[in-house]
Amino acid sequence: MNGKIFGIIGISILMSACGNQVQTPDPRFMPGNITNETSTNNSNLPGYMQCSQTINIRNSGGDLSKEYRACGVQGSMGSIRIYPVIQNSEPVCVFPSQGGTPIVYGNQYIAQCGSLTSAGTVLNFQGFNLNSIYVVPQSRASQFSQCLYYQNPSACANQSGFTYAFGQI
C-alpha cells in the first residue's frame, strides 16, 4: 500500500515539474525571423490555392482562432508557409518537428516567433527536415519548451493553462 502511495506522489511531482525549469528556444530562431513572403509565383492565386485547402494545424483545446493552414514551400527544404485561420494579432512561436518529435539543435528546441499575416507567412528552418509543427502563443514559448522536454506537451500545457496547435504539413 505504501509503495502505491509513493508511486502516485512521484508521478505527481514529475507532472508538476513541467513549468519549474526554464529552457528557452534557441535565440537564433526567435523574434524577427518570421517574414512575409512576397511571392512572384502564383501571386494572382488566392491563399487557399497556394497552400492546404483545409485546416491542418489544429488547436488542442478546439479554439478556431488558434488554428492554421500550413504547407511546405516547394524546392526549399525546411521552409513552410503558414496562414492563420482567423487573423489574430497575438505573436506565436512555431516549433518544427519530424513525426511529432520536436527538432533540437545545440540542446535547444528550434522555434521561430512573430506575428502571422492572413496573406501567408513563410518560415525558414534552414534546411531541417520537418513534416509537422507545434504553434503556441509567444508568451508561452519557454513553458512549452519545458513541456516538450518532458515529452508530454498535452498534459503539461493543459496543467499550465494554455493550448497549442499541432499538425502535419
What are 93-142's pLDDT values in tens digits? Answer: 999 999 999 999 888 999 999 999 888 899 999 878 899 999 999 999 99
- Check residue 151 and give its pLDDT: 87
Coil, helix or strand at residue 136: strand
Q: What is the pTM of this model?
A: 0.71
Confidence of residue 43 (pLDDT cuts 50, 70, 90): very low
Q: Find, among 158, 162, 134, 166, the residue nearest to 15 by Cα.
A: 158
Q: Where are the alpha helices (DSSP H) in the chain?
A: 2-16, 47-50, 141-149, 153-160
> 51-69, pLDDT tens digit by residue?
767 899 999 998 988 999 9
From CA 94, how far away is CA 144, in angstroms rounded?
A: 11
Torsions phi, psi of 129, nearest 5?
Answer: -85, 110
